[in-house]
Amino acid sequence: MSATSTPLTPELTEYLRSSFSTEDDVLRRLNAEAAEAGIPAIHIASEQTACLQLLLRSISARTVVEVGSLAGYSTIVIARALPPDGTVIACEKDPRHAAFIRRKAAEAGLASVIEVVEGAALDTLPTHPILNTPIDDTSIDAVFIDADKPNYQNYYDLLVPHVRVGGFVIGDNALAWGQVHMADPENEPKNVRALRAFNDRMATDPRFLTTLIPLGDGMVVGLKVSA
């Protein structure tokens, strides 16, 4: 008999939520207003918030690139884990969502920390200054990928060379809504297939020490251990 993981029941999830979340009134109000604005409620779960912040604080992150910011829930969570002169480069494709994030960032007193980059990240990032400094001066401390699933590997290819050794790459939805292990090449949704491929890519990339933290819909987390 090997040691086992304890399955997360709804009751245990509720316990995690009540004891280990940093969600506050600002974030609850953001969710309520996002819902009123018709923005889908597919932000990270509140039980992921402290985990994300712990990871970022553990490496004294200053510069984080977020791909897929939606209404800015995770953007604010990330910004709050950075020093006052830190930056979240928040890539958001939808102009309405981008405007919503800018407003929420200002209301949260984080306008100077959150830089909203509007447009598809694969179009906007290649000309962004963060990817146009010499690789030796690479300044990205962490990347949080939470956008369209089939492009996760493209974001990874673009950003990983610019992540410092000792930095993190984190991908949301690593459990693929509970379907990540159900490989079905014929019928499976393309997003499930893409998320499994992304997990495999990170798990086998020798530059990273990688694990999957099963909070929310799961976060695959890789620490860059070599260039």
Asked if 47 is part of the footprint of Mg ion (rule: CB under 5 A), the reply reads no
CB of 150 to Mg ion, least distance (A): 14
Q: Is residue 146 a contact point for Mg ion (CB under 5 A)? A: yes
Amino acid at 198: F
- Least Å distance, CB 104 to Mg ion, is 18
Contact by Cβ (8 Å): 152, 180: no
Beta strand spans in the chain (E): 63-67, 87-92, 114-118, 140-145, 163-172, 208-213, 219-224
211 CB-contact burial (10 Å; exposed 0-12 / middle 13-18 / buried 19+):
middle
Binding mask 27-66 for ligand DHB (x = CB under 6 A): ---------------x------------------------
> Which one-letter amino acid corresponds to residue 28?
R
Among residues 151 and 173, whose Cβ is nearest to Mg ion? 173
User: Which one of residues 108, 180, 217, 221 is an interface residue with ligand DHB (CB under 6 A)?
Assistant: 217
Of 42 and 106, CB closest to ligand DHB:
42
Q: State which H helix or E strand residue 201 sits in.
A: helix 190-204
Give the C-alpha distances (Å, rounded to integers) separating 43 from 30, 57, 173, 178.
Answer: 11, 21, 10, 16
What is the closest distance, in whole angstroms, from the C-beta atom of residue 49 to Mg ion in the complex? 13
d(C-alpha 97, C-alpha 93), whole Å: 8
Q: Cβ 84 to ligand DHB, closest distance in Å?
A: 28
173 touching ligand DHB, by CB under 6 A: yes
On whether the CB atoms of residues 169 and 209 are closer than 8 A, the answer is: no
Residue in the structure block whose two tokens are 């976060």: 219
CB of 4 to ligand DHB, least distance (A): 27
> Does position 172 bind Mg ion by CB under 5 A?
yes
- Given 97, 125, 172, 193, the residue binding ligand DHB (CB under 6 A): 172
Residues in 139-168 at the binding interface with ligand DHB, rule: CB under 6 A: 146
| Contact assessment for residue 128 and residue 70, using Cβ atoms and an 8 Å cutoff | no
Mind spelling out the 3-state secondary structure of 86-117? CEEEEEECCHHHHHHHHHHHHHCCCCCCEEEE
Q: Which does 23 bind (CB under 5 to 8 A by kind): Mg ion, ligand DHB, none?
A: none
Binding mask 173-212 for Mg ion (x = CB under 5 A): x---------------------------------------
Residues of the shown chain interacting with Mg ion in the complex, contacts defined by CB under 5 A: 146, 172-173
Residues of the shown chain interacting with ligand DHB in the complex, contacts defined by CB under 6 A: 42, 146, 172-173, 217
